[in-house]
Amino acid sequence: MSGGEKAEDPKPAKAIRWVGSAKDDLSNMPIDVKYEVGAALWAIQIGETPANTKSLKGKLRDVREIVVDDDGSTYRTMYTTRIGDVVYVLDAFQKKSKSGIATPQADLDRIEQRLKQARTLAADAKKAKHS
C-alpha cells in the first residue's frame, strides 16, 4: 500500500442460528465430520463458498448443503444465507440410502419446515429490533 491508501476493513463474520435439532444432530456425528462441517460453516460465515457445498433445487433453492463423506457414510448439513445477514443451519443428518444421491422426501419436508421457521425467527428478530 502506498501513500494515503487505507486497507478495507473485512466484513464481520455472519452469525449462526441453529434451527430445530440441527445443532444436536451435528453434535452426534463423528468428530471428523464435525470438524469438516465446522470449517465449512466458518468459511460460509466469512462469505466464502466451500467446494463441498451445493444448492438444492425447486422450492428449496435458497438452501445449500454441506456434504461430507467419512468412513463409507455420507453426512449432510443444510443451511441458508438468504435470510438477512445470518447463516441459518436447518438440518444435519447421515444419508441412509445406499443408492442414488436424492434426498428422501421426509428429509426435504423437514428442511422446508425449518426454512419456514428460520424466516419466522428472522421476522421476529427484525420486529424486536425496531420496537
pLDDT score recorded for residue 1: 46
Q: Is 104:112 a contact under the CB 8 Å cutoff?
A: no
DSSP letter, residue 70: E
pLDDT score recorded for residue 53: 98
pLDDT score recorded for residue 95: 87
Q: Write down all domains in the chain, each with its CATH number in brackets.
A: 15-129 (3.30.2310.20)
- The amino acid occupying position 123 is A
pLDDT score recorded for residue 129: 80
Q: Is 92:18 a contact under the CB 8 Å cutoff?
A: no
3-state secondary structure 14-42: CEEEECCCHHHHHHCCCHHHHHHHHHHHH
**Entry pTM:** 0.88
pLDDT score recorded for residue 49: 96
- The amino acid occupying position 75 is Y
Instruction: Write out residues in the chain with pLDDT < 70, as ranges.
Output: 1-9, 97-99
